[in-house]
């Protein structure tokens, strides 16, 4: 076996070949998603890869390095719900693959002056013990996610959900799936995003160009879909779904005015879940919620979701006093797309 550091875009053929053999590969593990990261601002994409004796990748860790006046950090991989960490083929010795890759990941980042490195563990796999054993994180921050694991999901929807679905059907809501080149559709999606987050007094996480690039990279390969829900010709809900081993309800927003009267959010999610299972995905990931007391969490629970944890795993290569002294707001500003340190470590 042979360990190599891969650079973008030179490794495209090897990476694409690996994806076809990958264990429970998600849209976020695809070459299309890695291209999105590699071409995003201030990110340097790399991967530490383990090759077999027949010169094929059997496992890798994709990651991005970035730096600011505060220092140099790395993450596999940045951006929200951008799951990664150790990726591997179906048929392998997981113990050997995790040990070899994680140790190489640490050694390489130390050689590049990286002070903090982070992994966001991928869902739908039981590997936290391997990370604890070979990555030995200094900080481990659990993050639960909620998902539906059966195509027969309708039997688990509670009464409130069924009432909302009936309400939506009574209002004859219509769903439409957009072409990746539909610039106006992305603009409309972004308008709803900004409107909804403004109503919730929250900041918009990424510029409109990010969502355009996401669709441009992932839609042609079947990994992403932008869709909208209409009432009397007006767009009331819009969202992006990702498709791989599972369906990710990546981001879905409904106009505040359409939430209760139309049941639009319920109907949109129903159509997305159904479409995911029609595409033969194995689960529908509703992703995380702010807390188990939040309305978002309680909404997802009404679908009969199952819960599991992923983790942000943080390894400190150097002293982090300067990061702690700067405070969480300055660190977040310096590294906008990265999980750097858990908030509770700041004084």
Strand partners, 108: none
φ and ψ at residue 159, rounded to 5 degrees:
-60, -40
Q: Which residue do the tokens 């969502």 mark? A: 211
CB < 8 Å & 24+ apart, contacts of 156-159? 156/303, 156/304, 157/302, 157/303, 157/304, 158/302, 158/304
Q: What is the pLDDT of residue 205?
A: 79
Name all domains of the chain by residue range, CATH numbers in brackets.
2-143+310-345 (3.40.630.30), 150-282 (3.40.630.30)
**Residue pair 253/227 in contact by the 8 Å Cβ criterion:** no
pTM: 0.94
What share of the chain has pLDDT > 70, as a percent? 99
Instruction: State how far the Cα of 214 lies from the Cα of 269, in Å rounded to an integer.
Output: 20
Task: Residue 80: name the closest of 32, 143, 147 by CA.
Answer: 143
Instruction: State how far the Cα of 11 lies from the Cα of 5, in Å rounded to an integer.
Output: 10
In angstroms, how far is CA 230 from the centroid of its own chain? 27
Stretch 253-276: mean pLDDT? 89
Could you read off the pLDDT of 154-170 as tens digits, one per residue?
999 999 999 999 999 99
**β-bridge pairing 87-88 and 71-76:** unpaired
Q: What is the DSSP string of 269-310?
A: HHHHHHHHHHTT-S-EEEE--S-TTSHHHHHHHTTT-EEEEE
Instruction: State how far the Cα of 210 lies from the Cα of 283, in Å rounded to an integer.
Output: 26
- 346 pLDDT exceeds 90? no
Number of Cβ atoms within 10 Å of the Cβ of 311 = 18
Could you read off the pLDDT of 17-42 as tens digits, one per residue?
999 999 999 999 999 999 999 999 89
Q: pLDDT tier at 122 (50, 70, 90 boundaries)?
A: very high
266 burial via Cβ count (<10 Å: 0-12, 13-18, 19+): buried
- 260 pLDDT exceeds 90? no
């Amino acid at each position: 076996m042979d360990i190599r550091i891969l650079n973008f875009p030179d490794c495209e053929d090897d990476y694409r070949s690996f994806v076809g053999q990958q264990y429970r590969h998600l849209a976020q593990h695809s070459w299309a998603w890695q291209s999105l990261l590699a071409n995003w601002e201030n990110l340097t994409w790399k991967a530490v890869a383990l090759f077999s004796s027949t010169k094929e990748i059997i496992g890798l860790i994709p990651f991005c390095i970035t730096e600011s006046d505060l220092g140099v950090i790395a993450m596999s991989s940045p951006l929200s719900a951008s799951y990664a960490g150790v990726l591997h083929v179906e048929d392998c010795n997981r113990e050997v693959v995790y040990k070899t890759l994680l140790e190489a990941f640490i050694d390489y980042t130390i050689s590049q002056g990286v002070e903090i490195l982070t992994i966001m563990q991928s869902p739908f796999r039981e590997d936290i013990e391997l990370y604890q054993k070979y990555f030995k994180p200094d900080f481990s921050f659990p993050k639960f996610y909620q998902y539906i694991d059966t195509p027969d999901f309708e039997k688990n929807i509670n009464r409130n959900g069924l009432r909302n679905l009936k309400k939506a059907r009574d209002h004859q809501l219509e769903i439409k799936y957009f072409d990746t080149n539909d610039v106006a559709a992305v603009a409309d999606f972004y308008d709803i995003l900004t409107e909804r987050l403004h109503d919730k007094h929250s900041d918009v996480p990424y510029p409109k160009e990010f969502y355009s690039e996401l669709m441009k990279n992932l839609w042609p390969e079947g990994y992403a879909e932008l869709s909208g829900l209409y009432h009397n010709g007006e767009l009331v809900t819009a969202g992006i779904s990702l498709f791989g081993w599972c369906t990710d309800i990546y981001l879905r927003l409904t106009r505040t005015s359409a939430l209760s009267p139309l049941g639009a959010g319920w109907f949109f999610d129903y159509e997305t879940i159904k479409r995911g299972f029609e595409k033969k995905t194995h689960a529908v990931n509703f992703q995380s919620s702010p807390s188990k007391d939040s309305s978002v969490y309680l909404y997802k629970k009404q679908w009969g979701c199952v819960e599991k944890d992923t983790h942000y795993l943080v390894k400190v290569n150097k002293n982090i006093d300067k990061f702690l002294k700067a405070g969480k707001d300055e660190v977040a500003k310096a590294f906008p797309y990265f999980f750097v340190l858990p908030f509770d470590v700041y004084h």
